[in-house]
Structures are given as C-alpha cells and as structure tokens.
Chains A and B, each alone.
Chain A
C-alpha cells in the first residue's frame, strides 16, 4: 500500500515544532485552570469534552479547507493518489497527531482528579476515537464550505449540534429518541469517558 500521504502528514507535523508545542500547551493550560479553579465536576467534564471535540474539528477543517483552496489536494489526486486513500491516511495521521498533542492534557486530568488507571486508559482511547470522529467532521465541513471563514462557522455549528445530539449539554431522558440518537454519536462515548475520569 502506498503511504505517501501518511508520511507527508507526519513529516509536516515534525517540521512545525512551534505549532505542536502550542497545540499541546494551550489545552493543557485550560485543563489546569479549570481543574485548579474548583469548577464543579460535571461542568469541568463538559468543558473538557467540548475542548477535545473543537480541537479535532477545527484542527482538521481549517487545513483541509486551506489545502483545497490552494489546490494542494487537487494536485495530490491528479498525481494518482486515490481520494479514499488520501482521506483515510490524512484523517488517521492527523487524529493520531492530535492525540499526541492532547496527551499531556489527558494525563493532567488523570493527575488532578486522581483517576484510576483503568479510567485514564479508557479516557485516552476515547479521546482518540473522539478526535478521529472530529477530524472526519472537520473534513466534511471543509468540503461543504466555500471559504475559510465559512469553514470556521460551519465547524463550530456542526460540532455544537453533534455535542448536543450526543447528550453532552443535557442528559437525554432514558428510553427516548434523544438517548437512542446520542448512542450513535461518537462524542457521547468521549463524554462518558471524561465524566468517569473526573468523577462527575
């Protein structure tokens, strides 16, 4: 299998240490402030879930839109990289890079809330799954949008709607349609793992 796009994503990430450092430091700062600020645990869990989701969605949507706008994606496709291979390699690589950048934040949550190792491991896995879903969402948003500004707007709206559908902002009544829908949204499982990790 040709893994040129996968290799490209990792090389680009390695070449931007400042971006990687900021991507790790800013969420870590936010987690630290919320955890040490004494926010109620359900509220803190909500903030962390929104943070991880937005991190993945925006982190994917903006580069996808920018690369489409400047003709880079078109060039790769015309060079013979199949669209499914391009999407799969890019999404998997960027979700993994996002996870590595968020790992300090995940560890900080585990440290501040004295999370059990089982819950911490579950949190790391679900953050990875959530980031993959958020990256897919970001790519879809970028495909629909016509400009970078539109991409940012659509990414916010789509993320918030899906977080709402996942039952992050309001626990859906048991047995209802909203609960059934929530089970189909990956962010639901991310939020469950965050809640377990912070003891909410």
Chain B
C-alpha cells in the first residue's frame, strides 16, 4: 500500500491476499485470495457457514480482515473512507429500510447519501424502481411492502448510484421470476459499464446464469474456482438426466401460464 492508502495496480477492483476473518476463536475465512477485475461477475458458492457472508462483509467494508490485505478500487479496505464506501453498492441478507418512508423516498435517500444531487438521485431512483417493478408502489410506505418488494427495493438502492463495486448476498432470495430477470438484466448492464460484481448464493442455477466466474468455499477455504462452463466441462459428464415428479410449480404454470420459479 502507498502512504495515501492506495494500493499498487489499481486496475483490479478487488485484490485480496491471504484474507482471514475470525469471530473469537472461530475461523470463518482463512488464507483466501480473490481478484476481481472491472466488468467481472463473480459468484461465491458454498454451504451455510462456509464463509460467504464473512467474505462479503470484508468487500462491503463492514468488517476488517483479521489477517491479509484487501484493496478495493485501489484503496486499503482496512482503512475505509466514506468516499470509498460511496463507490460500493451493498445489498446484504437483511432488507432493512426506513419503514415510515415510501419506497421512492428510501431509494432517493440512499442515492443522496452516496453524494448524488437531489435531481440526479430522483432520476436514478425512479429508473431503478421502474426496472425492479416497484414504480406502482413507489409512493406507499415501505412498512406495507411484502418481503419480496423489500428485497427488490434493497437491490434498487444498492445499484441506483452506479457503484463501481457491487456486493450482493443471496440477491435472488425472495424474488419472483420477473424480479430475477430484472436483476440479471441490471447486473449485466452494470458489468458491461465496468462495475465489478460479487454475489454470494446457494442457488447454483442462478449463479451459472449470472456469473462469469464462481468461487467455491467450504469451511472458510477456497476449494475451487473457475468459469461455470469450464468447471462443468471438467466434470467429464456429457449430460445429467434428471427425473422429477410434477410439483406445485407445474400446477401454477398450468393455471397462469407463468413460471412460479425461474
């Protein structure tokens, strides 16, 4: 790191070396390296307790590494500044909002908190609310929102200011198929515009669709990393035949013509 906290090689959005996260004696993440370039979408996969959320907390600057070095957008993440945080869009696992405010007011609040002028914040918030199909409910208090709507609002807030690094924890949880489609589209656009995106997920199908690279974690350690296509090809199996019984999703699809789950 330089004296001003800037790391060498600022071309990488995320550069982590030998990262560790510990909660008391419990090791949540150990000897973890991660590089993410601008425009990359990286999925972090693993079972519960594998260290996914701990890694995302580091990337969101919500926690400092117990060991190792982490540079975000060329800045030392161990000494995060408000200016660095304004370039990171975070949607954690809890959709916490100001419930007395409307969806639009919440979205504008966060866009203003990251430094956008009022008019610009309103434009950005309106555009994202439209994309996440919240425009019709934008003037209702968030306290009246369903959990899926709260989740969509959280994602809209995280992305409204076009952050250079996007950190998402289980982004598709609680989203309906249209919400998932909207999220995929927006993330794809943001990535093409140069944002680096890191998302943790348990949804392997979604991760395969969204991510250009996935990292598998187990017990706090990286066990595998690569492009989904390459990893699947390396499995050696030509095809997997899945046999399943009809389920309620099929009933819903027959009744409405829409898929209940993507």
Mark A residues whose CB is within 8 Å of B: 2, 4-5, 7-8, 11-12, 15-16, 70-72, 74-82, 85
Contacts and interface: CB of A to CB of B under 8 A. Distances in A.
A2 B110 CA distance: 11
B94 interface: yes
B107 to A, nearest CB: 12
A74 B80 CA distance: 14
Contact of B61 (A12, A78, A85): A78
Interface string B104-116: 0100011011110
Given A2-B112, A74-B62, 4 more contacts: A70-B94, A75-B96, A79-B157, A81-B113
B113 A16 contact: no
Given A70-B96, A79-B86, A15 B113 contact: no
A4 B62 contact: no
Interface residues of B, number: 24
Across the A-B interface, the 7 shortest Cβ-Cβ residue pairs = A80-B86, A80-B85, A15-B100, A4-B112, A82-B82, A4-B113, A79-B113
Contacts of A16: 100
Given A78-B85, A80-B85, A7 B109 contact: yes
| Interface of chain A: mostly helix, strand, loop or mixed | helix
B98 interface: yes
B114 A79 contact: yes
A2 B82 CA distance: 12
**Which of the listed residues A5, A80, A82, A85 has the most CB atoms from chain B within 10 Å of its own CB?**
A80
A85 B141 CA distance: 26
B101 interface: yes
Contacts of B157: 79
Contact of A4 (B85, B90, B92, B109): B109
B128 interface: no
B83 interface: yes
A71 B53 CA distance: 15
A8 B112 CA distance: 11
B105 A81 contact: no
B60 interface: yes
B100 A79 contact: no
A7 B62 CA distance: 25
B114 A80 contact: yes
A178 B231 CA distance: 74
16 contacts: A2-B112, A2-B115, A8-B101, A12-B100, A12-B101, A15-B141, A70-B94, A71-B94, A78-B60, A78-B90, A79-B114, A80-B88, A80-B113, A80-B114, A80-B115, A81-B82
